[in-house]
Chains A and B, each alone.
Chain A
Amino acid sequence: MEIAYTVRPRPDTGVYNAKLGMWLFLASEVMLFGGLFSAYVFVRVGAPPDTWPHGWLSVPLGTLNTLLLASSAVTTFLAWAACRARRFDQFKLHMGLTLLLGTVFLGIKGYEYHDKWTHYEVRLKDGRIADGHLVKSRTTDEAVVLKGRWVEDRRELLDGRRAHGAHEEIRIAREQIERMQNYAPRHNTFLAIYFTLTGLHGLHVLGGLVVFAYLWGPGSRLWHLDPEHFTNRVEVAGLFWHFVDLIWIFLFPLLYLT
C-alpha cells in the first residue's frame, strides 16, 4: 500500500508529507522553547535585587560555539545542495563537516559544564566566602583545596565581568565549612535556567547529529535506490538543524552577553 506524496510534493500544497510534518513539529518546538524563554524572562524580571549574576559564562567560548553552529548551518545547506545536484561525494564531504562541527560544539559545551560543575562557593563558619575551582588532587578528608579567591560579601561574586584579584590556592579545613556548593543548577535560578535551556538545546544538537550520522552512514544506501527521497530526508533533517541553530542564536545573547 502506497501513501501519496511521500516523495513528490502535492501540487496544490507544494510540499511533500515529511516536509509539512517537520514544519508542524518545529512550530511545536517554537512553543516549547517559547515556554522556556518566557520562564527565563519571568525568573529574571522577578529575581530579588542583587541576585541575578552577569558575566558568569565565557564569552570567547560562547562566540566560538556560535561560529561553529553558524558554519554547520552553511555546510548542512551545501550538503542538501549537493544532493540536489546529484553529487554524492560532495554530500559526504559537507555532511561529514557538519558532523564534525556539531561534535566540537558539544565538546566545548561539555567543557563549559565541567568548568561550572567543579566551581565551588564555600561559606565558612566565620562568614567569609571562598570561591574557586576544586583542586581535586590535593583535596583530602580533612581539607578542601580551591584555586580561587576570598570575598567578604556574596554580592561581589555576582559580576564576573569586573576584574578582580589573582587566583590563589586556598586550603580550607573541613570543620570550618558551613556550606559548600558547586555551580550546579540548584546554586541559583540563573544557573538553573542556564543548564535547563542549554541542556535541552544540547539534547537537540545530539538528536540532530544522530540523524545526520545515520544519513551520512547507513542511511545513505537510500541514495542508490531513490535519490530524490534521500534528498528529501536531508532537507527535512536540515530544517531541524537550522531550527536548533536559531535557538542558539537566541540563547547566546540571553545567557552569555547580558
Chain B
Amino acid sequence: MVQPTTKTVTTPPYGVHAHEPDLGFWRKYVFSTDHKVIGIQYGLTALCFLLLGFFLILTMRWQIAHPGEPVPVVGWFLEKVLGSPASNGVMSPDLYNMFGAMHGTIMVFLAIVPLAVGAFGNYLVPLMIGANDMAFPRLNMMSYQLYFLGGVVMLASFLIPGGAAQAGWTSYSPLATIIPTDGQTFWLIGMVLLITSSLLGSVNIITTIVQLRAPGLTWMRLPFFVWAQLAASFLLLLAFPPLEAAGILQLMDKVAGTSFFLPTGLAVGGVTANISGGGSPLLWQHLFWFLAHPEVYVLILPAMGIVAEVIANNIRKPLWGYRTMVYAVLTLSFLSFIVWAHHMYLTGMGTRISTFFQTTTIIISIPSVILLTCLLISLWGGSIRVHTPMLFALAFLPMFGIGGLTGLPLGFAASDIQLHDTYYVIGHFHYVVAPGTIFALFAGIYHWFPKLTGRRMNEFWGRVHFWCSLLFMNAVFLPMFAQGFAGMLRRMSDGGLSYSTRMGPGIEGTLSDTILGLNNFILWAALALGLAQIPFIINLFVSVWRGEPVKSDNPWEATTLEWQTPTPPPHGNFIEPPKVYRGPYEYGVTAGQADYVPQNAA
C-alpha cells in the first residue's frame, strides 16, 4: 500500500512539537543555528554581492566601450565615494584594475560559491537526507559570520587610501606585492576569513551527509544534488588550504618583507627592490591554481545537482544513468586536483609539464560530458512540464555545453598560445558560470521557493526574466569569442583602443573597428541583462507575501524528502523522523492517482 502524500498544506502548530520555545528576533533570524535560516542568510547576502559584482562590471563595460568618458548616471557617486581614482566621474586605469580584481573576487568567493554551497547546500542537504539539522549547528552559524566578515573586509578595502586590490582576482606576485597600497593586504585578510568559513562549511556538510542520513537512505538512494554537494565540499575542504598557505606567504611578503614570490634582482620602477630575493613567482601561480581549478568545479557541481533535481522532477521519469552520474562526479572531483597547471602554459614552466597537464585536462572533459549527456538523454521520452524553473534548467544544458566545448582549445597548449589571456577566455568561463551556474541557481530559486515560503513565484514574470536573460546573456558573451580570436587582451582599461588599427594603421594584428565596435554592443547588452533582472528581484520579494499560495506541501509532486515536510519546514524539519524505502527518482510508476512515489513511502 502506498502511503498517501500530503495533499494539504501543513502549517504551525505541528501537534506534538507545538511547544517550541520562542527564541526572539535575534536568536531566530540573526544568530540562528537553524540550517534553514542560515541558508537564507547566505542566499540573501550572496544575491546582494551578485548584484554588486554585476554593477562593478557594468561600469567597467562603459569604460571599455567609451574609454576616458565620464560614467553616466553613477559617475558622480563613484567620485564621491572613491575620490581621486574616479575624478570627474571618469574611471581611471587604477580604478578599472580595482573593479576588475574585485569583480572576480566578489563573483567567485562572495556570490556564486556562497549561493551554491552556502545557501542551497545548507538549506537543502539536511532536508534531502532526512536530518533535523546540520551535524554542527553552531559551526554553521560561525561559518556564515566569517563569510559575512570576509565580505565586510573586502568592501571596506574600497574605502581605504589607494583603494582595493588591483592585481586581478588571481593576484599574481610580484605585481600584487609591489603595488604600493594596502588593498592587497585587505584582500588577503578577507580571503583568509572566507577560506576559514568555507572550511567550517565543508566539514559540516560532509559530516552531515555521512552521519545524519535517515534510516534506509543508502548511498545509492541519495538524490544527485546531495552527491554534488558532497563532491563540492570535498573540493572546498582540500583545495582551499593551499591557497590559504599561499595567502599567508603573500601576506608575509607584503607585511614582513619576505621574498617568497619575489625573485632575486627584482626591479620596481627601474630601481632594484630592497628585498632579499630568492623567491619564485611561479610558486604563487601553482598554489593559486591548485585551488582555483577545483574551485571551478565547486561552482559547477552544485549547479549540476540543482539542474538534475529540477529536470528529474519535471520529466516525470527517473534520471537516465543515475549511477553513471554519481561515478562521473566522483571521477571529476578527483581529476580536478591534477589539471591546475593548464592555466600556466605560457609561464615557461616547461613543455613536459604542459604535456602532462594537457593530457589530464582533456581526460577531465570525459566525466563532464558524461554528466551533460545523462541529463540530455533523460529528457528523451519524458512528459516534460515546462515552467520557469524547468526553462532555466533546460537552458543550462546548451549554455554549459558552449562553455565546456570552448574550453577544449584552451586545454591544448598549442592553441592556447593564441587564445591565452584574451577575451576568448572571458567568454569561455563566463558561459560556464553565468548562463551555466547562475541559470541553474535561478532554476533552484524558482523551484524551491514554494517550500521556503508556501507561495509560488509569478510564472509570467518568471518567463519574462528567463527569455530576456537568455537572450542578453548570449548577446554579452558570444561576441567575446570573436574579440578573443582577434587577439584582444582581457585586462586593458581602454578596451583595446591602444592596439586598434586607427592607432597603428597597416600594422599586422591590430584590432579592427568591427572588433572594437563590439564593445559598445556588449555594453548595451549588459545593461539590458541588468534590466532583465528587475522582474526577478521584484518577483522574489513580492511573491513572499503576495504569491499564489500552494495547495499542498508538495506542489511539484516531487519524490525527494525535502518536500515531505510542513511548509515552511519548522526548526527540526520533520514532524516524524522519516524512513526511506526507495531511490530518489521513482517517477512514472502507477501509484493510485499519482505518477510518483516519495522516498519515504513504505
Interface, chain A (partner B; CB < 8 A): 1-5, 10, 13, 15-18, 20-21, 24-25, 27-29, 31-36, 38-39, 42-43, 46-48, 51, 184-189, 192-193, 195-196, 200
Known contacts A3-B133, A10-B211; A25/B203 CB under 8 A: yes
**In the bound complex, how far is the Cα of B136 from the Cα of A38, in angstroms?**
32
Q: Which of B146-154, B250-258, B531-539, B592-600 touches A?
A: B250-258
Contact flags B92-118 to A (C-beta < 8 A → 1, else 0): 000000000000000000000000000
Return B453 CB to nearest CB of chain A, in Å.
Answer: 22
Q: Is the CB of B248 within 8 A of A186?
A: no
Q: Is the CB of B279 within 8 A of A17?
A: no
Q: Which residue of A21, A28, A189, A196 contacts B278 across the interface (Cβ within 8 Å)?
A: A189
Q: Is the CB of A39 within 8 A of B239?
A: no
**In the bound complex, how far is the Cα of B248 from the Cα of A15, in angstroms?**
33
**In the bound complex, how far is the Cα of B202 from the Cα of A20, in angstroms?**
12
Give the contacts of B128-162 with A (CB-CB under 8 A). Answer: 131-133, 135-137, 139
Return A229 CB to nearest CB of chain B, in Å.
Answer: 15
Residues in B neighbouring A48, C-beta threshold 8 A: 264, 277-278
Give the contacts of B240-297 with A (CB-CB under 8 A). Answer: 240-246, 248-249, 252, 256-260, 264, 275-280, 282-283, 286-287, 290
Q: Which residue of B131, B137, B212, B242 contacts A32 across the interface (Cβ within 8 Å)?
A: B242
Return A93 CB to nearest CB of chain B, in Å.
Answer: 31
Q: Which residue of B133, B204, B245, B277 contacts A36 across the interface (Cβ within 8 Å)?
A: B245
Chain B, interface size category, equals 35 or more
Q: Which residue of B241, B252, B571 contacts A35 across the interface (Cβ within 8 Å)?
A: B241
Known contacts A24-B203, A24-B237; A189/B260 CB under 8 A: yes
Q: Is the CB of B276 within 8 A of A188?
A: yes
Q: Tell me if B415 is interfacial: C-beta within 8 Å of chain A.
A: no
Q: Tell me if B353 is interfacial: C-beta within 8 Å of chain A.
A: no
Q: Which residue of A1, A18, A34 contacts B571 across the interface (Cβ within 8 Å)?
A: A1
Residues in A neighbouring B290, C-beta threshold 8 A: 35
Closest 5 CB pairs of A and B: A35-B245, A35-B242, A186-B257, A32-B241, A192-B258
Q: Tell me if B363 is interfacial: C-beta within 8 Å of chain A.
A: no
Return A253 CB to nearest CB of chain B, in Å.
Answer: 20
Q: Is the CB of A39 within 8 A of B137?
A: no
Secondary structure of the A contact surface, majority rule: helix
Q: Is the CB of A39 within 8 A of B260?
A: yes
Residues in A neighbouring B139, C-beta threshold 8 A: 21
Q: Tell me if B542 is interfacial: C-beta within 8 Å of chain A.
A: no
Q: Is the CB of A28 within 8 A of B241?
A: yes
Q: Which residue of B lies closest to A33 (CB)?
A: B245
**In the bound complex, how far is the Cα of B342 from the Cα of A13, in angstroms?**
38
Known contacts A4-B211, A21-B135; A51/B239 CB under 8 A: no
Q: Is the CB of A1 within 8 A of B279?
A: no
Q: Is the CB of A28 within 8 A of B211?
A: no
Q: Is the CB of B280 within 8 A of A42?
A: yes
* A-B contact sample (16 more), CB < 8 A, given A1-B571, A39-B245: A20-B207, A21-B135, A21-B204, A28-B202, A28-B238, A29-B241, A31-B241, A31-B242, A32-B241, A33-B245, A34-B241, A35-B246, A39-B246, A48-B278, A189-B258, A200-B248
Residues in B neighbouring A18, C-beta threshold 8 A: 136
Known contacts A20-B211, A43-B279; A192/B241 CB under 8 A: no
A-B contact pairs, 24 of them (CB 8 A): A1-B571, A3-B137, A4-B212, A20-B207, A21-B135, A24-B206, A24-B207, A27-B238, A28-B199, A28-B241, A29-B241, A39-B249, A39-B283, A39-B287, A42-B282, A42-B283, A47-B278, A51-B278, A184-B256, A185-B256, A186-B259, A189-B260, A189-B276, A192-B252
Q: Is the CB of A28 within 8 A of B203?
A: yes
Return B252 CB to nearest CB of chain A, in Å.
Answer: 6
Residues in A neighbouring B136, C-beta threshold 8 A: 17-18, 21
Residues in A neighbouring B246, C-beta threshold 8 A: 35, 39
Contact flags B515-552 to A (C-beta < 8 A → 1, else 0): 00000000000000000000000000000000000000
**In the bound complex, how far is the Cα of B199 from the Cα of A133, in angstroms?**
42
Residues in B neighbouring A4, C-beta threshold 8 A: 131-132, 211-212
Q: Is the CB of A17 within 8 A of B132?
A: no
Known contacts A4-B211, A21-B207, A39-B283; A196/B238 CB under 8 A: no
Return A247 CB to nearest CB of chain B, in Å.
Answer: 13
**In the bound complex, how far is the Cα of B236 from the Cα of A31, in angstroms?**
11
Q: Tell me if B572 is interfacial: C-beta within 8 Å of chain A.
A: yes
**In the bound complex, how far is the Cα of B136 from the Cα of A16, in angstroms?**
12
Known contacts A17-B135, A189-B279, A200-B248; A28/B257 CB under 8 A: no
Contact flags B203-240 to A (C-beta < 8 A → 1, else 0): 11011001110000000000000000000000001111
Residues in A neighbouring B240, C-beta threshold 8 A: 28, 31
Residues in B neighbouring A25, C-beta threshold 8 A: 199, 203
Return A169 CB to nearest CB of chain B, in Å.
Answer: 28
Residues in A neighbouring B248, C-beta threshold 8 A: 36, 196, 200
Residues in B neighbouring A33, C-beta threshold 8 A: 245
**In the bound complex, how far is the Cα of B264 from the Cα of A3, in angstroms?**
56
Return A28 CB to nearest CB of chain B, in Å.
Answer: 5
Return B173 CB to nearest CB of chain A, in Å.
Answer: 12
Q: Which residue of B237, B278, B280 contacts A188 across the interface (Cβ within 8 Å)?
A: B278
Residues in B neighbouring A28, C-beta threshold 8 A: 199, 202-203, 237-238, 240-241
Q: Which residue of B lies closest to A25 (CB)?
A: B203
Return B411 CB to nearest CB of chain A, in Å.
Answer: 24
Residues in A neighbouring B258, C-beta threshold 8 A: 185-186, 189, 192, 196
**In the bound complex, how far is the Cα of B21 from the Cα of A194, in angstroms?**
53
Q: Is the CB of A5 within 8 A of B212?
A: yes
Residues in B neighbouring A31, C-beta threshold 8 A: 238-242
Known contacts A21-B203, A189-B260; A27/B279 CB under 8 A: no
Q: Which residue of B lies closest to A184 (CB)?
A: B256
Q: Which residue of B lies closest to A181 (CB)?
A: B276
**In the bound complex, how far is the Cα of B242 from the Cα of A3, in angstroms?**
32
Q: Is the CB of B278 within 8 A of A35?
A: no
Q: Is the CB of A1 within 8 A of B132?
A: yes
Residues in B neighbouring A13, C-beta threshold 8 A: 210-211
Q: Is the CB of A17 within 8 A of B207?
A: yes
Find the residue from B136, B206, B207, B277 having the highest chain A CB count within 10 A. Answer: B207
Residues in A neighbouring B572, C-beta threshold 8 A: 1
Known contacts A24-B237, A43-B283, A185-B252; A192/B260 CB under 8 A: yes
Q: Which residue of B lies closest to A190 (CB)?
A: B278
**In the bound complex, how far is the Cα of B135 from the Cα of A16, in angstroms?**
10
Known contacts A13-B211, A25-B203; A189/B241 CB under 8 A: no
**In the bound complex, how far is the Cα of B202 from the Cα of A188, in angstroms?**
37
**In the bound complex, how far is the Cα of B131 from the Cα of A184, in angstroms?**
52
Residues in A neighbouring B241, C-beta threshold 8 A: 28-29, 31-32, 34-35
Q: Which residue of A36, A187, A196 contacts B276 across the interface (Cβ within 8 Å)?
A: A187
Give the contacts of B552-573 with A (CB-CB under 8 A). Answer: 571-572
**In the bound complex, how far is the Cα of B213 from the Cα of A13, in angstroms?**
11
**In the bound complex, how far is the Cα of B278 from the Cα of A51, in angstroms?**
8
Q: Which residue of A20, A27, A34, A51 contacts B210 across the interface (Cβ within 8 Å)?
A: A20
Give the contacts of B459-507 with A (CB-CB under 8 A). Answer: none
Q: Which residue of B lies closest to A37 (CB)?
A: B245
Return A254 CB to nearest CB of chain B, in Å.
Answer: 15
